[in-house]
Amino acid sequence: MTQHRGKFITFEGIDGAGKSTHIAFVGDYLKNKGIKLVSSREPGGTPLGEKLRDLVLHEKMHLETEALLMFASRREHIAQVIEPALHSGAWAISDRFTDASFAYQGGGRGMDLAKLEALEQWVHPHLQPDLTLLFDVPLEVARARLDATRSLDKFEQEKADFFAATRNEYLRRATQFPARFRVIDSTQSIPDIQLRIAGILDEMLAL
């Protein structure tokens, strides 16, 4: 019997939007529906990727070095985790993927989008998420949530205009790729957001 390829779901949003809060919910929801899945994150997702994550989140570096390390981590993640999972029929869910490079390195830091497109074509010419959940909140809401909870990494210490540009690029991409993006208004309560996500997943499961 031919094995059906699994689905690939990615989670995106500016820091503090509430992305991490909902990843476990999605994992549990899908497992309860009998779906086998692999959950991982970027940068990271493999032992080498986690080492790159540590560097890229804490060291100062040239913008293009930062982008190249994101894609290096991604290359390893796709080869070791995402493709094998999808090929075996399992679903893969990733806390961030290439949209984050466009939003942060492209939007936030102003890197030429054409260079990011070239990297995307190099690293995953044939792979795109089946579904991207974009958790969207105004900057002040995200900032207040971050300040209430944790010590901040290199990106999280950036200023408001960085996050405004990052958020805009995410929203621009959601408009550019409407078939796979779902924008979640993350100012809503956690239970309301979960209801919306469950509806989106049910639609996908019915396909």
41 binds ligand TYD (CB under 6 A): yes
Among 50, 83, 95, 130, binds ligand TYD (CB under 6 A): 95
In 3D space, the residue among 98, 200, 182 whose CA is nearest the CA of residue 132 turns out to be 182
Complex with ligand TYD: residue 20 or 128, whichever CB lies closer: 20
Torsion angle of alpha carbons 167, 168, 174, 176, nearest 10°? -150
Complex with ligand TYD: residue 58 or 126, whichever CB lies closer: 58
- Residue 106 interacting entry, from ligand TYD, ligand ADP, none, C-beta within 5 to 8 Å by type: none
Q: How near is the Cβ of 73 to ligand TYD at its closest, in Å? A: 8
Reduced to 3 states, what is the DSSP secondary structure of residue 124?
A: coil
Strand partners, 185: 136
Tell me if 95 is assigned to a ligand binding site. Answer: no
Q: Give residue 171's Cα distance to chain centre.
A: 13
50 binds ligand TYD (CB under 6 A): no
Report how far residue 94's alpha carbon sits from residue 44's, in angstroms, rounded to the nearest whole number: 10
The answer to whether residues 170 and 136 touch, using CB atoms and an 8 Å cutoff, is: yes
42 binds ligand TYD (CB under 6 A): yes
| Interface residue list for ligand TYD (CB under 6 A) | 15, 20, 41-43, 57, 70, 95-96, 100-101, 104-105, 153, 155-156
